[in-house]
């Protein structure tokens, strides 16, 4: 039997990327887990990413330091308050300029070096209401670019960016996590943990997560 | 008089990127210089980048650590010998998987955060014979992606990736450097410096540089 193909999974340690990793594994891939340490305000998610990677027995987990704070421009990386008043329409201040472009580019570099042609990322419908780099048009555009950018692409290999959550609500994601065996008890979503290291419960990410579990009729095992 | 627009210039400290910075300045831009410290074998180029940035009086110079060695796959970042036998056809082992994609993505993030819409990169004709991510098709594809990826792009701003050296030979670049006042005496090109910190003279980069100066009929001020 030929060895299963490798895929690079962008793993933040949150609900979405952990569910994506479970789906990639169910699709028959061996996993390379890539976590970006961009000095995010919610650094605790890095520990959760390591636990999730260990749970899945990935071939390799790379935590790549990539400090985007020097550029500013986002509440997740600069001294701008994380909003707590509820999810607003439009592009939120937690948008990090070109974040998914940067993350996918790094994933592409690792994929090419490792001989993988598949990249998984947990962008979804709720996100792309606000973040331009979560929209399907962006993902298709990135794939086209990747196939002109790389030795593997030029030589005929096709890179694919998989976004299995693209059309899902948070409730759908919670249900998919159960279906594919994602260890949600190990995940972290909060953008702005308390000094005691607990979830704040009121940032956009906490609100979306709570709503997803409520609508799926599932208790959040991480609480 | 309105303030001149900002541009992000990818500045390695070599002949090409230094010439590009001189051209960007001549085009009327205020410069943001971005140097990526990817733990390259030829780390001495970082010091040269700092000298060049100071020479041009850039608005800001960011040296971003981004360690790609963990991914392997290139003679510039892994324990593969740098070729010394002359420039060969095809994609060389000094190709770093997705390097320009990663560098341009980071430049895009800074550009968006800083309100810049222009990015300058020193890819050129000699390079794109071997490196897929130096070809014009790649650059156009990256621009298209950038305009779907970003808040600024979605809101109607157009990012431009300038490659003023795209059609130049090394000799043309040496002549352009003189024309636009690039301080070539501060630049570094060698991929594999000697233990004493001198250029090796026989790697592809040294050979191309020497050929360029010879064909332009100019003495290399860095030697």
- Least confident range from A106-115, A162-171, A173-182, B32-41: namely B32-41
Domain that holds residue A130: 6-216
Q: CATH number of the domain that A160 lies in?
A: 3.40.50.620
Chain A residues in contact with chain B using a Cβ-Cβ cutoff of 8 Å: 62, 64-68, 70-74, 91, 95-102, 104-106, 108-110, 112-114, 132-133, 135, 137-138, 141-142, 144-146, 148-151, 153-154
Distance from the Cα of A80 to chain B's closest Cα (Å) equals 13
| Structure confidence by residue, pLDDT tens digits, B171-189 | 999 999 999 999 999 998 8
Mean pLDDT over residues A57-74, rounded? Answer: 82
Contact status, residue A193 vs residue A151, Cβ threshold 8 Å:
no
A222, part of any domain: no
Confidence of residue A39 (pLDDT cuts 50, 70, 90): confident
Question: Is A174 among the domain residues?
Answer: yes
- pLDDT (0 to 100) of residue A129: 59
Gap from A165 CA to chain B (nearest CA, Å): 18
Predicted confidence at residue A195, as pLDDT, reads: 85
pLDDT digits (tens, 9 = 90+) for B73-108: 554 455 445 556 665 555 555 557 888 999 999 999
Identify whether A223 is part of a domain.
no
d(CA B116, CA B3): 12
Residue B1 falls within a domain, yes or no? Answer: no
Does residue A188 carry a pLDDT above 80?
Answer: yes
Instruction: Give the model's pLDDT for residue B116.
Output: 94
Q: How far apart are CA B167 and CA B65, in angstroms?
A: 30
Residue A31 pLDDT greater than 90, yes or no: yes
Percent of chain B exceeding pLDDT 90 equals 52
pLDDT attached to residue B204: 83
Question: Taking CA atoms, what residue in B is nearest to A131?
Answer: B151
Residue A61 CA to residue A116 CA, distance in Å, equals: 15
CA A11 from chain center: how many Å?
A: 5
Strands, E assignment, A11-133: 30-37, 60-65, 118-120
Assign A154 a pLDDT band (cuts: 50, 70, 90): confident
Closest among A97, A93, A104 to A69, alpha carbons compared: A97
Can you tell me the ipTM of this complex? 0.86
Rounded percentage of chain A residues whose pLDDT exceeds 90: 53
- The domain total for chain B is 1
- Residue B7 in this model has a pLDDT that exceeds 90: yes
> What is the average per-residue pLDDT within A162-185?
95
> Quick one: pLDDT at residue B127?
57
Q: Is residue B90 part of a domain?
A: yes
In a domain, A18, yes or no: yes
β-pairing, A160-162 vs B118-120, is unpaired
The answer to whether residue B108 sits within a structural domain is yes
What pLDDT sits at residue B93?
Answer: 52
Predicted confidence (pLDDT) at residue A89 exceeds the cutoff of 70 = no
Q: Among B70, B101, B154, whose Cβ lies nearest the Cβ of A105?
A: B101
Computed over every residue of chain A, the mean pLDDT equals 86
Is the CB of residue A66 less than 8 Å from the CB of residue B66?
A: yes
- Nearest residue on chain B to A74, alpha-carbon basis: B113
- For the ranges A7-21, A36-50, A150-164, B57-71, the lowest mean pLDDT is seen at A36-50
The reported pLDDT for the residue numbered A126 is 67
Q: What is the CA radius of gyration of chain A?
A: 17
Which pLDDT belongs to residue A24? 98
B205 or B51, which is more confident? B51
User: Does residue A91 have a pLDDT over 60?
Assistant: no
Chain B residues at the A interface, defined by Cβ less than 8 Å, are 62, 64-68, 70-74, 91, 95-102, 104-106, 108-110, 112-114, 132-133, 135, 137-138, 141-142, 144-146, 148-151, 153-154
- Quick check: is A169 in a domain? yes
- Rounded to whole angstroms, how far apart are CA atoms B131 and B94? 9
Q: What is the pLDDT of residue B77?
A: 54
- Looking at residue A3, what is its pLDDT? 84
pLDDT at B72: 64
Summary mean pLDDT of chain B: 86
């Amino acid at each position: 039997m030929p060895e299963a193909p490798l895929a690079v999974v962008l793993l933040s340690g949150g609900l979405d990327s952990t569910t994506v990793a479970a789906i990639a594994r169910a699709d028959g891939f061996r996993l390379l887990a890539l976590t970006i340490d961009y000095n995010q305000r919610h650094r605790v998610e890095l520990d959760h990413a390591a636990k999730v990677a260990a749970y899945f027995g990935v071939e390799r987990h790379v935590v790549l330091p990539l400090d985007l704070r020097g550029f500013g421009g986002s509440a997740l990386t600069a001294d701008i308050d994380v909003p707590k008043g509820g999810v607003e329409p439009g592009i939120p201040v937690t948008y990090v300029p070109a974040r998914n472009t940067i993350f996918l580019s790094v994933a592409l570099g690792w994929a090419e070096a490792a001989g993988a042609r598949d990249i998984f990322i947990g962008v979804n419908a709720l996100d792309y209401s606000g973040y331009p780099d979560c929209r399907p048009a962006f993902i298709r555009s990135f794939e086209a670019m990747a196939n002109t950018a790389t030795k593997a692409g030029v030589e005929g290999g096709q890179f694919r960016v998989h976004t299995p959550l693209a059309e899902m609500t948070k409730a759908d994601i919670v249900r998919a996590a159960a279906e594919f065996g994602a260890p949600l008890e190990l995940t972290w979503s909060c953008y702005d943990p308390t000094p005691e290291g607990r979830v704040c419960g009121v940032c956009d990410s906490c609100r979306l997560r709570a709503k997803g579990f409520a609508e799926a009729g599932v208790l959040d095992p991480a609480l």
